[in-house]
Chain A
Amino acid sequence: MSDQMTLTPRQRQDLRTIAAMIIPPSEEYRVPGADDEIIQADILATLGRDTRPVAAALDHLARLAGMALADLAPDARDGVVQQFRSSGGGAAATLVRVVLQCYYRDDRVLSSLGLELRAPFPKGHVLPDGDWSLLDPVRARPVSLRRAP
């Protein structure tokens, strides 16, 4: 298996299903779920070196489910996912991470969080200098630096 591998249609289907279980859409916050088409496309396009563990995690999920996760009844899905989270190890953690890292860079999600849609460079951020009089009690402490006799 190389990092150039892609997920099979069954794996993609399960990825979308579990992504929706991790982060469903929210009308209250006006955000899509992680099964959103754009977010799923971002995940697939940027899997890269994570393809192998994500595929392994999805295969593990399929074994636990005994069928496509989406085909299970919702109650049964929850049970499978609980098993998956407890037994999936590093591969499962990678799967969850790639879902989260693509979700939390989506424009709609960042807008909902009040974050700017840009790279940090070159604009950067402005930080309040703060009230350095807060240091006065520390300044009042005697100098104390332990030394060998």
Chain B
Amino acid sequence: MKDPVDVLIIGAGASGAAVAWSLAETKMHILCLEQGGWMNPAEYPSTGRDWEAKFYGEWSSSPNVRGRPEDYPINDDNSPIKVVNYNAVGGSTVMYTAHWPRLHPSDFKVKTLDGVADDWPIDYDALTPFFEENDRIMGTSGLSGDPLSPLTHPPMPQQPMGLSGAIIGKAMNKLGWHWWPSDTTVATMDYEGRARCINLGHCTPACAQGAKSSTDITYWPHAIRAGVELRTHCRVREITTDENGMASGVVYYDKDGVEQFQPAHVVIIACNGVGTPRLLLNSASSRFPNGLANSSGLVGKNLMFHPYAQIYGYVKEPTDSNRAPPTCLWSKEWYDTDLSRGFVRGYGVQFVRGAGPVFEAVVSEQKGILPWGEDHHRVFRKLNGHRIGFSAICEDLPEERNRVTLDPVLKDSHGIPAPKIDYTISENSRKMMEHALARGREVLETAGATDICINSPIPWGGWHLLGTARMGTDPERSVVNEWGRSHDVKNLFIVDGSIFVTSGGVNPTSTIQALALYIADQMKQRLANLFD
């Protein structure tokens, strides 16, 4: 039998890396098990001429399409929004847009302010030092002073405005609406061993330059140097418990597919809002028949995605196309509740620079604006390199009917039951999406765009996996307490997006990592009585 470790972290993505790095200073024996492997930037799509074609296969954002051995299948047939993720050291930070807004202070007090959902058990101010620390380690670029966003201090200047940004900015000014250069985790200058961005193109499917921050090149090198052990290609099947109802370790399959047991004094789950409930539900036992840490019955429930309402069009001027990171500007004009709009809460906007030629051709053909036959060439030249877009990230409110369960049939390559998603877009979200599309159309038309197209929701837009093991002070209404510890199992912690109480209207990774650092800090402060 293996020697027990002090802390076992499951998952080496955004939150697992952050919590590992933070806890490393305790000099405890910390082990992280990750189902994926280390990435090789020399194999990233932008290193080849077929870079766009790869997005439809081995570099698809959908694990169901990718089907790499490191991936697990997800039954999302009963959801208009499909789950996208990445499984590797770095997790989905390998494959994300690097857009880096934070939740707003108001997002933590939704019940108090708007009478819906629940307040978080912590507030924005509790996370402020961890946002700052995380921004420094991940390496953010941006422009301080946005009047409608929380104050940030990015260590690097904002991305270039480019051609697309100027077109969008002028249109937003004409309309009198807020816009601002986005905070991103794209390095705009050499930073902490990372080379500056050279605009390889859309950086979502990994950055060969290393300019986009992913935790395999930020947190993990520091954590490993500090003594954290990271075992790759190890897929955890279940968390085991002892006679006292405490977590005793995990059963996992190693890189050779051999079942192993790793005992641990503390277990931390960092598997995202789908992987975490899947693991907890797969850890059911006679003592925990409904799944581990699930006395509330809320494990897997309250799944929030952020439905994306996207609208785009084509201007006469050339845009940045694929020749830059995809997002450069955001707007918070419609972030806060205004009941005259017909819905509660709001949405952030990320503006999109454009698309590459293959993507443009494929999508435009599907939309019916790029014809077959003689006129194909003329129309393609009108579209290609002329796209600008408006994507609203709509706040999804928690609803128990939106959930992750275990699929009764589907299993991964190790025979572990796969997750099943049941999700419906709420009426409030639909109204919000309609509002966003109308505002987006105004922006595009003001910019002179034609051939306007809509993706609402973006079908393969389930990037943000939130809410399925929510935090709270009431054990009957939450899965973990206000510092991430399971109400039921006192040496079990969750640090990923599943502990979100509400979703806000922005990309969540910055807040996920700040939460992970906050929980690690709480653990360090309580080491003497962590299980009391």
Contact = CB atoms under 8 A, between A and B. Distances in A.
Given A23-B376, A129-B161, A138 B178 contact: yes
Contacts of B26: none
A125 B198 contact: yes
A73 interface: no
B150 A145 contact: yes
Contact of A124 (B53, B178, B199): B199
A1 interface: no
B162 interface: yes
Contacts of A143: 147-148
A148 to B, nearest CB: 4
Interface stretch (B105-113, B126-134, B268-276, B505-513): B105-113
A130 B166 contact: yes
Interface stretch (A4-12, A25-33, A55-63, A64-72): A25-33
Given A21-B372, A126-B199, A147-B105, A104 B358 contact: yes
- Summarize A's interface: helix, strand, loop or mixed: loop
Contacts of B208: 120-122
A127 B376 contact: no
Interface in A114-149: 115, 117-132, 134-135, 137-139, 141-149
Nearest to B200: A120
Contacts of A110: 357
Interface of A: 21-24, 26, 28-29, 31, 46, 48-50, 81, 93, 96-97, 100-105, 110, 113, 115, 117-132, 134-135, 137-139, 141-149
B399 interface: no
B324 A125 contact: yes
B179 interface: yes
A21 B375 CA distance: 11
A120 B51 contact: yes
B105 A105 contact: no
B49 interface: yes
B198 A128 contact: no
A22 B376 contact: yes
B109 A120 contact: no
Nearest to A130: B161
B374 interface: yes
In this complex, the member of A93, A126, A135, A139 whose beta carbon has the largest number of chain B beta carbons within 10 angstroms is: A135
B165 interface: yes
Top-3 shortest CB links A-B: A130-B161, A124-B198, A148-B109
Given A135-B181, A148-B108, 16 more contacts: A21-B372, A26-B374, A101-B53, A101-B358, A104-B361, A105-B52, A110-B357, A115-B357, A120-B322, A125-B200, A128-B162, A130-B166, A130-B169, A135-B169, A138-B178, A146-B104
Interface string B187-224: 00000000001111100000011000000000000000
A26 B376 CA distance: 10
Contact of B166 (A46, A81, A102, A134): A134
A102 B362 CA distance: 11
B47 A148 contact: no
Contacts of B340: none
Nearest to B374: A24
B199 A97 contact: no
Interface string B476-507: 00000000000000000000000000000000
B358 A48 contact: no
A101 B360 CA distance: 10
Contacts of A115: 357
B145 interface: yes
For the side of the interface on B, what is the size category? Answer: 35 or more
Nearest to A124: B198
A138 B165 CA distance: 14
Interface in B31-66: 44, 46-53, 56-57
A137 B324 contact: no
11 contacts: A22-B373, A46-B50, A50-B57, A101-B53, A119-B46, A121-B47, A125-B323, A130-B162, A134-B169, A135-B181, A148-B109
Nearest to A136: B173
A102 to B, nearest CB: 8
Given A22-B372, A24-B374, A128-B161, A121 B113 contact: no
Contacts of A100: 358, 361-362, 365
A127 B323 contact: yes
Contacts of A49: 57
A119 B358 CA distance: 14
B184 interface: no
B170 interface: yes
B96 interface: no
Contacts of B161: 128-132, 134
Contacts of A147: 105-106, 109
Contacts of A144: 147-148
A123 B198 CA distance: 7
B201 A120 contact: yes
A124 B357 contact: no
B105 A120 contact: no
B377 interface: yes
A29 B373 CA distance: 14
A97 B160 CA distance: 32
A145 B104 contact: yes
Nearest to A29: B377
A143 B166 CA distance: 23
A101 B123 CA distance: 48
Contact of B209 (A23, A101, A121, A141): A121
B170 A128 contact: no
Contact of A24 (B169, B323, B324, B376): B376
B180 interface: yes
